[in-house]
Amino acid sequence: MKKPAVEKAIEHLRQRGLAAAQKKAGRETKEGLVSAYIHPGNRIGVLIEVNCETDFVARHEEFQAFVKDLALQIAASHPLYVRREDIQAGVIEKERSIYAGQCKEMGKPEAAWPKIIEGKLEKYYQESCLLEQAFIKDPAISIQDLLNQKIAKIGENMAIRRFTRYQLGLE
């Protein structure tokens, strides 16, 4: 069990990191790295683009390790989107419709449906959006939290631009 002073210190450092990340959020990220990850057994592969402000940071060992961790995350957890804003409105409406049908089948009162649907939609975002997923190496933090920590530590804005995940036998 952590001591209260240690917990407060950790919370303070996390808040400082978030503040630092927010200050840098407006900066352009035109440099970066495209990285590939091939899972052992050659059945899963990932291509990912992560941007930063300068080529100096793109060559930095910590930035490259971060990009590799992200590729590993994508291979393991199979996100479909980088962020929830990337999801097309039609997909969200289809999910809402499915969840409404589930509520009806389960006999839930109609008054409770909106809250149940929103809860299921949040779960969908956490599973489908990379930035909202729990980091596989530390499930206590999300990928967004990890990104903010790296921005604060390295001192440059970074952005996960896009990724593609390939799995043998799946389209």
The structural domains of the chain, with segments of one domain joined by +, span 4-80+133-167, 88-128
The answer on pLDDT for 20 being more than 60 is no
Tell me which CATH code domain 88-128 carries: 1.10.286
Residue 35 bridge partners (DSSP): 48
Position 28 scores a pLDDT of 64
What pTM did the predictor assign?
0.79
In this structure, of 7-21, 82-96, 108-122, 134-148, the range with the lowest mean pLDDT score is 7-21
Task: Report the pLDDT value the prediction gives residue 30, as an integer from 0 to 100.
Answer: 78
d(CA 92, CA 124) in angstroms, rounded, equals: 9
What mean pLDDT comes out for the span 90-114?
A: 92
**SS3 call for 15:** helix
Buried b (16+ CB within 10 A) or exposed e, 44-80: bbbebbbbbbeeebbebeebeebbbbbbbbbbebbbe
The confidence score (pLDDT) of residue 169 equals 84
Tell whether the torsion through CA atoms of 48, 53, 57 and 58 is positive or negative. Answer: positive
**Average pLDDT value for the chain:** 88
88, 97, 100, 124, 125 from 118: Cα distances, Å: 17, 12, 10, 10, 10
| Coil/strand/helix, residue 47 | strand
Residue 13 confidence (pLDDT) above 80: no
More confident residue, 169 or 101: 101
Furthest-apart CA atoms within the chain: distance in Å: 58
Which CATH number, 1.10.3720.10, 3.40.50.300, 3.30.479.20, 3.20.20.105, labels domain 4-80+133-167? 3.30.479.20
